[in-house]
Structure 1
């Protein structure tokens, strides 16, 4: 269960930003094949935001009508999946990974489990490493950090920053 508050989020490049005032309901991981394709991932973390408490604060998302009753919002510039919009619903779903603080909302359920990848339960057993480990090591990590064009995890007056 989420605490009622203000949530902000957006895409990787900063072209699209949004705000939710109030509780994000039904935080869950959707494993359905359509969500897998939309996220380019094994599942899509989502939570409901009341339409009247949800607003896009920067830019204009692109939309893909994935079925007769659902459209999916994304950033046209960087491709970040942002929204799952069940057209008849009183809410729009935001992707939890696009929140400025994704740790704020913990999923409480899973849906579409008929399409969950069979080895999903094995994830905790996979080897782990930090970002600066592996090929290229610390030098690669520092190069990425110092040339990072990703929007920060907070609202900005404009983006990208002036050079």
Structure 2
């Protein structure tokens, strides 16, 4: 018997955590203007989890009704975009960047490409910023990092009792 795929994720500060069991459906990149604004980015990668296989494991999102059909869930503490939800359906879309392992789900489609940035085709041609000669900046950031780790924790922040 094979093991059921399990995806975990949450917001940047750790106040909201979730788990989805089974495969995520229709992993795609949405370029619509609402997704751009909700993500604060040029696009929003999403995939659907069946509601019966989805659970919040810590906290709960705040919701913004971006249209009469859709609400968007985000962390009320740190603002991380987490969900694109059509309440009447049997699934909830997860923002793929909020997964603990975002590389585990590869988009298979793009949608609403009429709002796609006209210069995306040139991204791979941009020069690469050189790596720093020392790791001083990265060490300083790592030593003062307040971001939740990419795995479930009993409590967060460290030292807080559940």
TM range (shorter): over 0.9
Q: Paired residue for 1:143?
A: 140
User: Does residue 158 in structure 1 map to residue 155 in structure 2?
Assistant: yes
Partner of 2:29: 29
Aligned to 1:71: 71
The aligned runs of 1:38-117 (5 Å cut-off) are 38-117=38-117
SS in structure 2 at match of 1:18? strand
CA apart distance, 1:145: 1.0
Q: What whole-Å deviation, never above 9, does each CA across 1:12-65 have from its counterpart, x for those lacking one?
A: 000000000111010000000000000000000000000111111100110000
Q: TM-score of the superposition, structure 1-length normalised?
A: 0.92
The 3 A distance-change label for structure 1 pair 4 and 112 is farther
Instruction: Tell me if 1:118 matches 2:118.
Output: yes
Superposed displacement of residue 129, structure 1: 3.5
- CA RMSD of superposed structures (Å): 1.7
TM-score between the two structures when normalised by the length of structure 2: 0.92
Any gaps of 5 or more consecutive residues in structure 1? none
What is the alpha-carbon distance in structure 2 between the residues aligned to residue 68 and residue 143 of structure 1?
45
Distance 1:133 1:19, change over 3 A: same
Secondary structure at the counterpart of residue 73 of structure 1: strand
Q: Deviations over 1:79-102 (max 9, x none)?
A: 000000012222100011100001
